Structure 1
Amino acid sequence: MSTLRLALLLVLAAGPALASYRMPPAMSYMHRPPPAKKMSKAENMVESVVLLSIDGLHSGDLTWWLQNRPMSALAKLAMSGVVYPQAFVKGITDSFPGVLALLTGGSSKSHGVYYDDSYSRALWCPGTPCNGSKPTGPPGCELVFDESLDYNLSDPNGGRTGINGDSINPAALPLDQDCKPVYPHQLLTANTIFEVAKSAGLRTAWTDKHPAYDLVQGPSGKGVDQLYTPEINTDFMGADFTHHADQIPMYDALHAEAISSWALGFDYQGNPQSGWGVPAIFGGNFQSVSVVAKLYSPAAYEADGVTPAASLLAALEDVDGFVGRIAAYVDVAGRTPSTAFVVTAKHGNAPRKAADLKLLPDTLVPNALTAAGIKPAQVTQDTVSLIWLEDASQLQAAVKVLEANATALGIAEVIYGSALQAFAGDPATSPTAPHIVTRVIPGVVYVGNPAKHSKAGDHGGLNDDDTHVALLVSKCGQKPKTVTDRVETRQVAPTVLKLLGLDHTKLTACMTEGCDPLPGLDY
């Protein structure tokens, strides 16, 4: 066990008494990493891609950081990289479609996943009685794929090891027509970069925030060799990490340690694995920036909505330190010449300006529909509303109600029909596609009770603060540049495969929506 993991377990065991603990920027490992070696010309090519999502990191945040922290780890990557200041997430910006954009090259339209809280017209709810091998009653079920799937929230690993989805309780899963549990990865209708790499005989590894990120395994369920998913919402310390800006670095450090260990060819705990080697694609996410941006106090930004305030600055420093640690271990392993880094974000958070924040009750939209005699099967809200109707014939009536009351409901645009199908698919043919998605008035966030809520922002929506995210690609020998063309985060997927010399046209979602790798790189 590494020194870092041991330290983290001791901190977790200490509980709330260490609420102000901050992770040191460069904790060493007990094991001795393999010695660096010189790379031959034949080896001086991309053999591994480290894919990192700094969740919540806006394009403007990265620009500010590179300008004001020229000696930082991210700035060092930019010295041999391409920065894309006009990078956007296509469509819905929940974490699920956000990560799948990076991994499939598509939007919800193609991969079939909309949110971690969504709806299916073709599945049955957990616990539905079965008559033989068939579920009773009609299909139609809210799909909640978050910490509620864990065996045990009091265990930081979700009740099992937290590896390859083993902490998911099948009893918490929806059922298919044969009364079998449906795992998150089974929702996908498109393959992933992990599956393409696996089909070429390469290894893969990933770390994310819930066991429910079994999602990234892809339709095969076998895309990631080692998927490490410690539970961010564990109540092990009394309150989960997402409520404490000063505790979230401890959680992110678990991800940093796993990724650093993979960079050395070890398992996520830093143990040598026979026949493993360094994965071709590995990485994960960091939550510190996103958590800080969503907390009401202290504010993440100064009044201009651009300059990081103290809390966000601390989060950026923590995450930059983690990126630096990973890069250092890549270097120690002698693999800097053959390793590319992609640093981006699944989503942003909105609003950045505290003065723009407008919390609205999440009952407004469903109540307005119900009062008009319209039955929503499910309404999912954060900085967006996704609406599934019980009766699709009520679509026009629902649109009329929402448009007539748009300002009071916090709605800037009601999206349905062909406009919605451009990024969210067709509810007439997809059992999980919503009938309506709304673009909110900038600053609107739907919450349970605005008078008692401490939220300062969220994501999921279609406005710039949700969609306009950081993107940096770095590799040895790359001439530093800034590409100002508008690009989409889904272009990361074909870029990763092209860097590795793999066929990016094998990505089904990417081919459906257009499969251009990012411009400006020396492939």
Structure 2
Amino acid sequence: MKPITKWKRKQSAMCAAVALLAGLYSVVATAGDDHDHGRDHDHDRGSVKHVLLISFDGLHEQDVARCIGANTCPNLSLLAKSGTTYTNAHTPGLSDSFPGLAALVTGGSPKSAGLFYDVSYDRTFYAPSDSNCTGPTGWNVVFDETTGIDGENGGALIHLNGGGAFNPQAIPHALVNGVCTPVYPHNYLKTNTVFEVIKGNVHGARTAWADKHAWGYDWLNGPSGAGVDDLSRTEINSIDPDTNTYYLDTYQHTEKFDNYHVQSLIDEIDGKDSTGQMNAPVPTVFGANFQTLSVAQKATVATGGGYLDASFTPGPQVTGAIAYIDDALGRIVAELKQRGLYSSTAIIVTAKHGQSPTDHTKLVKNGDTLTKLLEANNYLDSGGAFGQAATKSGNLNDGTGLVGTGFVQTDDVGLIWLRDQSQASSVVKTLKDNLSCNAPGICADGPQAYILSGPQLANRFGDPSRGRTPDIIVQPNPGVIYTSSTAKDEEHGGNAPDDSHLGLVMYVPHAQHAGQVDNERVLTTQVAPTILRLLDLKPELLQSVAVEGTRPLPEFDHQD
């Protein structure tokens, strides 16, 4: 396919003069910048002054294709007609919210960014209560709704802003240059973010983001702790005072939560902060996460959730959710147009992750057979006596969990941090001896299932001996969810096709080849370096991009 736009070479004054005489090139004027060392002098960002990134969690490529074809998402369709639709976009191996969003804003997979799940494990960390780092290591890191101060001592999550501060019981410690140091979520991320790069290299830049957990998503600030000027503190697991119920109880109620994010974006477009209370420059890069579609997908088929067939025909709840997110997109774009910013704002619509299984004939919920098998063979303590599932108080993430126990995280994937890493080969053998879907089997006996360990795992996700990477990753058959829960029929986190194959639509102002459909396989990690290219910055300023060699999306992947 032809490029979406022709990025013109910047020439020095001498080269420009020669080009003018030869009639070969146009001279592209370049605005001055106090941080010009970060500029990508092979490209000019032209009219792009702002980049808006929107994550509609759960948005599959098939959802985009179906709703555009049926005209049930007219606003997304208009964006696609003015931009490029990537039909073959995928997450980089794991599809939980943390690695999914890290891909979009760091350009890296878990191997470099170090985020495997919002609930994970690090062998080098000390307990939150161990402020001198003198006890045993190995901590079950939980950066979710309980990371806010409302969660302290198991308290009720009664504030939309999570209580306005970190829960100190959720913050582990690590030895940093010999000093026992608290590890906040922004310290947990191993590489920098687009927010940090843009703040450091675009004069006068402002950054903003809104997500689902008020304090767990502090990691978006990056290791500097200051990447996002306006990080909206909204907690989806909090209690709505108007109904005394959680925003997650139904997808219609989740719409109310997501509307807070719509309003935050509108306020930012209008030259205010995310609260609408203070004047602020329109952000250079900003965006938000939306949960309505994800909640509708997870809802049981019996209640109208999920999909009706293997062709992604949406059920009643998903139909309603897609109508909602499209309307939300329309309101945001309308405000950009109203404020005269549409012609200078690039818009990227995608998702952190998909949802699996959309074909409910493949659904298998035999319970958490993986964890049970590990416990039964003494690879983990029985009865869930490990990590934050075994707090002395009974309150999740209050700092009283067990240290050095290993951990297993299961949804439609299994991430295993062993209590004793020397048992890895024995554990793999036990797993391979129990691949069937009959108890005690782990239902990983199909052609799309696999068990990663050893060098194969290290090459893809990093060396487990360094502390963060799981020892073993189990991808069960597509459709398997390691739960007996009757509350949901879909999940995410792994690398099943429905988890990883995402919608990706990108609008760039004044594109010369609008309405393109690109079928080339791309990864969501390519979004981050593309954002920098749009703003005339070098993609390699992102550490994960430099380490993993991540290329921008095809239209913007031009060698210097």
TM range (shorter): 0.7 to 0.9
In the TM superposition, what whole-angstrom CA distance separates every residue of 1:457-479 from its partner, at most 9, and x where no partner exists?
11001111110001011022222
Q: How does 1:322-401 map to 2 (within 5 A)?
A: 322-362=328-368, 364-375=369-380, 377-401=406-430
Q: CA deviation at 1:262?
A: 1.2
Structure 2 partner of 1:27:
none
Q: Which shifted more, 381-390 or 352-361?
A: 352-361
Structure 1 partner of 2:498:
465
* Pairing partner for 2:234 from 204, 226, 230: 230
Matching residue's letter, 1:373: N
Structure 2 partner of 1:496:
531
In the TM superposition, what whole-angstrom CA distance separates every residue of 1:78-113 from its partner, at most 9, and x where no partner exists?
111100010000111110000000000010000111
In the TM superposition, what whole-angstrom CA distance separates every residue of 1:388-438 from its partner, at most 9, and x where no partner exists?
012211110010011110122122211112221233211123x21110111
Q: CA deviation at 1:124?
A: 1.6
Structure 1 partner of 2:184:
183
Contact 2:370–2:482 (CA under 8 A) maintained in structure 1: no
Normalising by structure 2, we get a TM-score of: 0.80
Structure 2 partner of 1:28:
none
User: In the aligned structure 2, how far is the partner of 1:422 from the partner of 1:112?
Assistant: 14
Structure 1 partner of 2:13:
none
User: In the aligned structure 2, how far is the partner of 1:115 from the partner of 1:193?
Assistant: 20
Change (3 A) 1:485 1:382: same
Secondary structure at 1:445's aligned position in 2? coil
User: In the aligned structure 1, how far is the partner of 2:244 from the partner of 2:541?
Assistant: 46
Secondary structure at 1:157's aligned position in 2? coil
Contact 2:247–2:254 (CA under 8 A) maintained in structure 1: yes
* Pairing partner for 1:441 from 462, 466, 477: 477
Structure 2 partner of 1:47:
49
2:266 is equivalent to residue 260 of structure 1: yes
Secondary structure at 1:343's aligned position in 2? strand
In the TM superposition, what whole-angstrom CA distance separates every residue of 1:293-315 from its partner, at most 9, and x where no partner exists?
11112222112341112211110
Matching residue's letter, 2:64: L
Q: How does 1:37-116 map to 2 (within 5 A)?
A: 45-69=47-71, 72-116=74-118
In the TM superposition, what whole-angstrom CA distance separates every residue of 1:273-306 from its partner, at most 9, and x where no partner exists?
2xx3111100011101101111112222112341
Structure 1 partner of 2:397:
none
Structure 2 partner of 1:14:
none
Secondary structure at 2:532's aligned position in 1? helix
Matching residue's letter, 1:341: I
Structure 2 partner of 1:126:
128
User: In the aligned structure 2, how far is the partner of 1:432 from the partner of 1:125?
Assistant: 15
Structure 2 partner of 1:6:
none
Contact 2:533–2:556 (CA under 8 A) maintained in structure 1: no
Secondary structure at 1:437's aligned position in 2? strand
Q: How does 1:242-321 map to 2 (within 5 A)?
A: 242-273=248-279, 276-296=280-300, 297-321=303-327
Aligned-residue identity in percent = 38
Structure 1 partner of 2:399:
none
2:240 is equivalent to residue 204 of structure 1: no
Contact 2:551–2:557 (CA under 8 A) maintained in structure 1: no
User: In the aligned structure 2, how far is the partner of 1:172 from the partner of 1:512?
Assistant: 30
Structure 2 partner of 1:481:
516
Q: Which shifted more, 255-264 or 64-73?
A: 64-73
* Pairing partner for 1:424 from 447, 461, 480: 461
Secondary structure at 2:94's aligned position in 1? coil
Normalising by structure 1, we get a TM-score of: 0.86
* Pairing partner for 1:173 from 171, 174, 196: 171
Matching residue's letter, 2:408: V
Contact 2:142–2:170 (CA under 8 A) maintained in structure 1: no
Contact 1:171–1:181 (CA under 8 A) maintained in structure 2: no
Q: How many residues align?
A: 467
Matching residue's letter, 1:475: V
Contact 1:301–1:353 (CA under 8 A) maintained in structure 2: yes
Superposition RMSD on alpha carbons, in Å? 1.9
In the TM superposition, what whole-angstrom CA distance separates every residue of 1:44-85 from its partner, at most 9, and x where no partner exists?
610000000000100100111111117711111111110001
Q: CA deviation at 1:143?
A: 0.5
Change (3 A) 1:239 1:483: same
Q: Runs (4+) of structure 1 moved beyond 4 Å?
A: 40-44
In the TM superposition, what whole-angstrom CA distance separates every residue of 1:146-183 from its partner, at most 9, and x where no partner exists?
011122211121112xxxxxx32223211223454311
Secondary structure at 1:282's aligned position in 2? strand
Contact 1:483–1:520 (CA under 8 A) maintained in structure 2: no
Change (3 A) 1:171 1:387: same
Structure 2 partner of 1:23:
none
Secondary structure at 1:209's aligned position in 2? coil
In the TM superposition, what whole-angstrom CA distance separates every residue of 1:337-390 from its partner, at most 9, and x where no partner exists?
11000000000010001221111322x223322333323710000010000012
Contact 1:44–1:337 (CA under 8 A) maintained in structure 2: no
Q: Which shifted more, 477-486 or 420-429?
A: 420-429
Secondary structure at 1:144's aligned position in 2? coil
Q: CA deviation at 1:453?
A: 2.3
Secondary structure at 2:460's aligned position in 1? helix
Change (3 A) 1:409 1:446: same
User: In the aligned structure 2, how far is the partner of 1:41 from the partner of 1:508?
Assistant: 26
Matching residue's letter, 1:176: A
Q: CA deviation at 1:272?
A: 4.2
Secondary structure at 1:316's aligned position in 2? helix
User: In the aligned structure 1, how far is the partner of 2:70 from the partner of 2:373?
Assistant: 47
Matching residue's letter, 1:435: D
Contact 1:305–1:354 (CA under 8 A) maintained in structure 2: no
Change (3 A) 1:474 1:416: same
Contact 1:90–1:423 (CA under 8 A) maintained in structure 2: no
Matching residue's letter, 1:147: E
User: In the aligned structure 2, how far is the partner of 1:95 from the partner of 1:440?
Assistant: 19
- Say which one has the larger Rg: 2
Matching residue's letter, 2:348: V
